[in-house]
Amino acid sequence: MENVKDSFSEMLAMSHYRLFMVTQGTDAEKSWKAIIRFDPFRKRLLENYRLDALFQLARTCYSLKKWNEVEEYASEMVELSMIQCGDREVTPKRHPVYYYGMGLLYRGAVLERQGLYEQSKKYIRSYADLEWFEPLDASGQKEVEQFKIWGKANLYTLEMLTGNESMVNEYADYLESLNRLNDIVAGLIAIVKSANTYGFNVDHVLLRFSGSIARFDLFNHDPILSDRHLQYQISLSQSYL
Contact 184, 175 (CB under 8 A): yes
Among the candidates 178, 193, 216, a domain finishes at 178
Residue 27: give the domain boundaries: 2-178
Tell whether 116 and 145 lie within a shared domain. Answer: yes
The answer to whether 202 and 192 are in contact (CB under 8 A) is yes
What pLDDT shows up at residue 4?
39
- Which positions of the chain have pLDDT values less than 70? 1-8, 25-26, 216-241
- Determine the pLDDT at residue 86: 81
How far apart are alpha carbons 5 and 7 in whole angstroms? Answer: 5
Say yes or no: 122 and 11 in one domain: yes
Quick one: 35 and 115 in the same domain? yes
Tens of pLDDT, residue by residue over 149-162, are 999 999 999 999 99
Tell whether 121 and 217 lie within a shared domain: no
Question: How confident is the model at residue 105, as a pLDDT?
Answer: 98
Number of domains in the chain: 2
What CATH number is attached to the domain comprising 92?
1.25.40.10
Residue type, 210: S
Say if residue 169 is in the same domain as residue 227.
no
pTM of the model: 0.84
Q: pLDDT tens across 53-103, in order? A: 999 999 999 989 999 999 999 999 999 999 998 888 899 999 999 999 999
CA count, 13 A, side-chain hemisphere, 149: 16
Query: 235 and 129, same structural domain?
Result: no
